[in-house]
Each structure stands twice: as C-alpha cells, then as structure tokens.
Amino acid sequence: MKGISLAREWNEAQGSKVKAQKTHTIPQISKTRDLPQSNPQIAVCMTDASWDANRLRVGLAWVLTGAPATVVRNGTSIQDFVTSPLVAEALAIREGLYWTASQKISHLWICSDNLTLIGVLINKTQRKKLLEIIKDIHNLLYVFVSIDFFHISKEKNEETDALAKASLRNSFV
C-alpha cells in the first residue's frame, strides 16, 4: 500500500511543477457535527454497520458519492465473530477505506454516525479491542493524498444504515 501511495503521489506530481503534499491532518470534531460544504474534488464515503449480538455477525456497508464518483457507488460485506457494535463500526470504516483505495480515489472524507469511533480515530486514543483495526485504518491513510473523518447524524446516514441492515438480513437466508 505504501508503494502504491508513493507511486500515485509521484504520478500526480509529474502533472505540475508544484509537488502535491500529503496532508493527514485530521480535524477535530466540529460542534455542529456536520460535514463542511461539499467540495467537488473530494469523495465522501459514508459507513455503517448492523450488528447481531446473538450470532456475533455484522453487516457492513459503505456508500461513496462525490468526485470522481458521478454516480453513487456502494458496497456491503458480512463479518462473523464480531464482539461489539464499536468493533463493527470500525470494521465498516476499514472496509470502506479498502474499497475507496482500490477505486484510485486520492481525496476522501470518511463519515460515520458513531461519535466514539470518530473520536478514537481523530484523537488517536487507545481502545484495547480496536487496536488492530485502528492500526489497519491508520496504515491505509497513506494511500490517500488527503483524508478527513467526520461524525454525522444517524438521519444523514440512513441509506448506508439500510444497506448494512439488508446485508445482515440477507446473510441469514
């Protein structure tokens, strides 16, 4: 991933005399908890998870909008042996990042309705059960030229929530 990131950075730098700088400054959560005004050059990846505590199974979902996505793109995944909803939300962000990295997107906003998880990612605080997933997420940051994390309300994440619930429900059929 690091090699791909460096190659992408080098290719982008060839197009202009000014070398693009990688920015991984993650903003603090705003008091309004809203996304800033949309930017046509930045893709937005909404993530969510639906957890079944009895089966320890989770449906993960992500929805991508914005540049270079002219149409909404989305994906889902199922994971077994997930021990908490917080772990499920972290897995959703990781899967969303893997997917957007494979789409050659360089500027990204990641959005989740889980305030605790966004706080962990922004402040780089430790949560024992999230250590490896957070490490994976932080390693993926270097694939992007810029990336920011935002907390959004559940109402603004309804489409992704419905996808996650549907993928979990369909996994039992």
CATH number of 46-167: 3.30.420.10
Confidence band, pLDDT 50/70/90 cuts, at residue 103: confident
Residue type at 29 in one-letter notation: I
Least confident span in 29-38, 66-75, 91-100, 151-160: 29-38
Is the confidence at residue 165, as pLDDT, over 90? yes
Least confident span in 12-21, 58-67, 108-117, 153-162: 12-21
Tell me the domain boundaries of the chain.
Answer: 46-167
pLDDT digits (tens, 9 = 90+) for 74-102: 999 999 999 999 999 999 999 999 998 88
pTM over 0.85: no
Confidence band, pLDDT 50/70/90 cuts, at residue 16: very low
CB atoms within 10 A of CB 138: 12
CB atoms within 10 A of CB 126: 9
Interatomic CA distance for residues 92 and 167, integer angstroms:
12
List CB contacts of 39: < 8 A, sequence separation 6 or more.
66, 67, 107
Residue type at 12 in one-letter notation: E
State yes or no: cis peptide before 27, omega within 30 of 0.
Answer: no
Interatomic CA distance for residues 109 and 57, integer angstroms:
27
Give me the pLDDT at residue 142, please.
Answer: 87
